[in-house]
A = this chain, B = another copy of it.
Amino acid sequence: MTKEAHLLLAHGSRDPEWRLPFEILAADLKAIHPERPIRLCYLELWHPMLTDAIQEEYGRGIRNFRISPLFWSRGRHLREDLPRLVDAVMIPGMHIRIDGPLGLNEEVLRAALTALT
């Protein structure tokens, strides 16, 4: 079976309080799937950066990657910055699939609506 690294991609901030929910999500997901290589990484301002995380996992023999953007929606970061970074790090034999933004997920939107009701 080909192992796939799951990269949870947050925007990034130097503020530890801002990073908290993303760290909770990554820790919870690792607890559910301890066998999976799951990495929290960032687009900017904090480390590991996305490309560093990909290169590190590649060095460990991983060739397949899933990127889940922990963003509310699709803006310039996901339309322009993310494809540019993925193009820059891509090597023949590497496979990268990219999820839609977490905030557009139907269940997440429904939970958000419940929280606001």
Contacts and interface: CB of A to CB of B under 8 A. Distances in A.
A32 interface: yes
Interface string A7-29: 01010010101111110110011
Interface string A67-79: 0101011111001
Contacts of A68: 115-116
Interface residues of A, number: 41
A117 B33 contact: yes
B111 A110 contact: yes
12 contacts: A15-B76, A17-B74, A21-B72, A21-B109, A29-B113, A29-B117, A32-B113, A33-B117, A70-B72, A72-B72, A108-B111, A110-B111
